[in-house]
Amino acid sequence: MERKTHAAKTSVVLLGPALGAVSGVSTHLNQLLSSALADEFSLHHFQVGREGRVESRMARAGRFLFSPLVFARYLSRTGPAIVHLNTSINKRAFWRDLAYLLVARAMRRRTVYQVHGGDLPEIFVGGSTISKALMRRVLGLPQAIVLLAQSEAIAYRAFVPAARVEVIPNAIDLLPSERVATRSPSNAPLRVVYVGRLIRAKGIFEILQAVREVQDRGVAVNVTIAGDGPDAAELMAAASQLGIDQHVSFVGPVFGEDKSRLWAEADVFAFPTYHPEGLPYALLESMAFGVVPITTAVGAIPDVMEDGLQGLLVPAKDPQALAACILRLDADRAEMERMGRSGQKRIREHYTLEIMARAFQALYETL
């Protein structure tokens, strides 16, 4: 009798924060682990960084010093063929994750270096010739650099021409949005939502200022802010000081069915960020549900939506422009419905888990 044999799956270790952390990178890792990519490769997670941890300052220092050694032991014990490092180009993440990259290369593992936002290389190194040479050397170590935005790819290819640079956007599971009934036009007050970390650079205080201006124009609007972060208390105080706290709900972090329900009941996603974004998952989710984003041209956002077609773009730190966009959509509900449908079509054609899984499968296979 002929015995059938099956080749073992290639093992890939994904480096990033805790899977349960409130983080875009954590969301990305969970998406990869739940996608069809896991059918083709043996995917594993190795936690790095402090997101999702509760630890003392001393414990954090110990982790920073010894975690690369723990990682080296992990590679030696489990033997993955590919190390997929998920990082951002900021001072804390870059230097922390450089240690893991060096360990992976020293142990002759094929490496994927995926950048989730942060500064572009030229900006990160400033005018220092030494820093520029070091950055070029670092970016030459991995077998592939994966970016989220076309604008990033142009900058990286110019900075380190010899590197292999790929653009693989974030993607989402469409099933939650497909369970929602088709939206029907309504003349009720607009339901504006924000979903994300509560940090100033996300434009959250500008949202409150815009709501105050909209209400000063005699237009009612209800706002739900979902998430948590270091500026949460200050944001709540600002809502009270502006006299709009009765129209603003703070619901904390939302997940699963609660998040789907929030999107299903929303009209507008306010996201006037000036943070160095990659490709925010909240943007993809909002568009999949037919919620119209009002956001800024940061990171990969202009790759996903075009101003006036799937949403509206505003300048950063400009609450008056944000208010004007809210008033525009409130006055023209037909335009808002059209943008919502166009956004849904855009996500279904370009930003699904199946598309992302195929892209990473092709990349892994070449390594």
Q: pLDDT tens for residues 262-300?
A: 999 999 999 999 999 999 999 999 999 999 999 999 999
Q: Are residues 191 and 306 in the same domain?
A: yes
Q: What is the pTM of this model?
A: 0.90
* Nearest one of 322, 311, 286 to 206, comparing CA atoms: 322
Domain contains 3: no
Domain contains 76: yes
Domain contains 5: no
Q: What is the pLDDT of residue 47?
A: 94
Q: What is the pLDDT of residue 2?
A: 41
Domain contains 1: no
Token pair belonging to 68: 């690369």
Q: Are residues 198 and 113 in the same domain?
A: no
Q: Are residues 90 and 25 in the same domain?
A: yes
Q: Are residues 142 and 218 in the same domain?
A: no
Distance CA 136, CA 121 (A): 9
Domain contains 286: yes
Tens-place pLDDT, residues 17-67:
999 887 889 999 999 999 999 999 999 999 997 766 666 777 666 666 789
Give the type of residue at 254: V
Strand partners, 112: 84, 144
- Is pLDDT of 243 > 90? yes
* Nearest one of 269, 251, 259, 252 to 190, comparing CA atoms: 269
Q: Are residues 102 and 225 in the same domain?
A: no
Q: Are residues 207 and 87 in the same domain?
A: no
Q: Are residues 196 and 164 in the same domain?
A: no
Token pair belonging to 24: 């875009």
Higher-confidence residue of 214 and 5: namely 214
Q: Are residues 92 and 127 in the same domain?
A: yes
Q: Are residues 272 and 305 in the same domain?
A: yes
Domain contains 16: yes
Q: In whole numbers, what is the pLDDT of the chain averaged over residues?
A: 93
Q: Are residues 98 and 219 in the same domain?
A: no
Domain contains 291: yes
- Is pLDDT of 367 > 80? yes
Domain that holds residue 206: 175-350
Mean pLDDT, residues 203-213: 98
**The domain spanning residue 117 has which CATH number?**
3.40.50.2000
Q: What is the pLDDT of residue 179?
A: 83
Return the ∠ at Cα 253 (arms to 248 and 258), rounded to 5°. 90
Phi and psi at 145, nearest 5°, equal: -110, 125
Phi and psi at 108, nearest 5°, equal: 60, 40
Q: Are residues 327 and 341 in the same domain?
A: yes
Domain contains 258: yes
Tens-place pLDDT, residues 64-101:
678 999 999 999 999 999 999 999 999 889 999 999 99
Q: How many domains does the chain have?
A: 2
Tens-place pLDDT, residues 194-207:
999 999 999 999 99
Q: Are residues 188 and 208 in the same domain?
A: yes
Distance CA 118, CA 129 (A): 20
Confidence of residue 7 (pLDDT cuts 50, 70, 90): low
State percent of the chain over pLDDT 90. 86
Distance CA 320, CA 346 (A): 28
